[in-house]
Structure 1
Amino acid sequence: MLKNQVAIVTGASRGIGKAIALKFAEQGTKLALIGSSEEIHQTGKELREKGFHHIETFQVDVANEEQMNDMVAKTLEKFGQIDILVNNAGIGFFKPVEETTVDEWKKVFEVNVQGVFIGAKAVLPHMKARKSGTIITISSDVGRYTIPNGSAYTATKYAVQGFSGSLAQEVREYGIRVGTINPGMVDTYFANSVQGLPEKQDWMKAEDIADAVIYMASAPKHMLIDEIVLHPLIQNYPIA
């Protein structure tokens, strides 16, 4: 179903984004991969070495509208269409409110919220014209409840939930589907962590989240999956 479709994946240099890129490539999807550092080009190189050749990479700041619009224009020039946008890029830190600087607050909102807004805005004219498209945002389970020492990060995920829900209602008449995937604990590099630590052995893997993205993107065109929430079995979390 996803073969020869075109997907943009942000934050694809490593972790969940890189796993999503690989899963799409295995489905035969053509890819525009976005990263904030030169590492994104290494991801593209690794995928091509695996035999996936419809791969373009862009070093882009997702919070920069001009750069994102340019990336979308180049993706359309290369592939002719955009079927899927996966807003995966995100950052986080965890500290008490009084220790959080204004610059830190602004930065996490720029990437986690403004980046989602700009990405969606950039692809919408094309998707509306085609009356088709899927926009998936990797949010978090803390977009459904709160945690201590996570005010900035949690606030961004509540914002993403609100944005995505409103956008879904706004664009469904154009055949565009909007959904969020809200993971719990995932073994990645998130928040300067180290992937593969022994204490994370029972956490979800990046591939688990990538599988959820494929599932959401592969749903029949008449069906919208609004939200997927995933947790490792060991995680104790509040039920909304």
Structure 2
Amino acid sequence: MELEGKIAVVTGVSKGIGLATVQALLAKGMKVAGWGRTAPDLQHENFSFFECDVRYPESVQRAFDQTITQLGIHVSVLVNNAGLGIAGKLDEISVDDWQLMFDTNVNGVFYASRLVLPEMKEQEEGHIVNISSIAGTTGVELMSGYCGSKHAVRGISHALYKEVRDYGVKVTCIYPGSVQTNFFDNIEGVTVSSNMMRPEDIAYTILHVLESHPNYHHVDIEVRPLMPKGKRQK
């Protein structure tokens, strides 16, 4: 897809992967709508922030309506990035925390995608990128809720791409390993380090899939740090 001049929506833009993705898309000449609960520290003539909590369909609808009013009717790119993880044993994690993860990580993907798809299908062009996790391909001890939500993102992505591929619309699911973000702030035993991937690495991957030939479709992309524990000691 040629990106310059087109509209992208990115969720969860306050920092980390979301903010890095916004910056990468702006560098390509896109008009970017950032949806999130907190505005990023970013000023750019082609960036607009719309307050949005993806857990709530009415909040997503309001952000979408504001985006269309201010930027234009055809959203070409949606990056479903908003997400969070809460650690805990399945029989000890609270119902509220469980629902928070699924409302954010799963329902948010549905609420946003359903709004941009009709115009994408009409235009026969569009790309939805869903940020899952390595936890969406395997099980991780003490992360059953997060794993379950990210497995759901994988299933939604796989089903959706088969629904919309004949309209010329792409759906890509990306499964990052550890990234240098605030995701680990509330997870005991894990410290962010330079051995993790950088947010901009994921952003560059997103750019790569967006700019591919119209008939070339990345369905799943798994990315990991090459040396998660650093260089071996000689």
TM-score by length of 2: 0.91
Structure 1 length normalisation: TM-score? 0.89
Does residue 57 in structure 1 map to residue 49 in structure 2? yes
Residue of 117, 121, 130 corresponding to 1:128? 121
Q: Which runs of 4+ in 1 moved over 3 A?
A: none
Distance in 2 (alpha carbons) for counterparts of 1:112 and 1:155: 10
Q: CA deviation at 1:74?
A: 2.1
Deviation, 1:144, is 0.9
Which segments of 5 or more consecutive residues in structure 1 lack a partner in the other structure?
none
Q: Residue 165 of structure 1 is aligned with which of 148, 158, 163?
A: 158
Other-structure match for 1:179: 172
CA distance in 2, matches of 1:121, 1:154: 23
Deviation string 1:86-122 (CA, Å, 9 cap, x unpaired) is 0000010111112201111111000000001111111
1:228 partnered with 2:226: no
Partner Cα distance (1:200, 1:134) in 2: 32
State whether residues 13 and 19 of structure 2, in contact with CA within 8 Å, keep that contact through their aligned partners in structure 1. Answer: yes
Q: How far off its partner does 1:2 sit?
A: 1.4
Distance 1:108 1:191 in 2: 15
Give the Cα–Cα distance (whole angstroms) in 1 for the partners of residues 122 and 26 of structure 2: 26
In structure 1, the residue matched to 2:77 is: 84
Counterpart of 2:26 in structure 1 is: 25
Query: Identity, % of aligned pairs?
Result: 34
Matched residues, number: 225
Alpha carbons of structure 1 residues 167 and 199: separation in structure 2 relative to 1, 3 Å: closer
Gaps spanning 5+ residues in structure 2: where? 230-234
Please give the residue correspondences for 1:70-81 in structure 2 after superposition, counting only pairs within 5 Å. Answer: 70-80=62-72, 81=74
Name the CA distance, whole Å, in 1 between partners of 2:218 and 2:192: 32
CA distance in 2, matches of 1:66, 1:89: 16
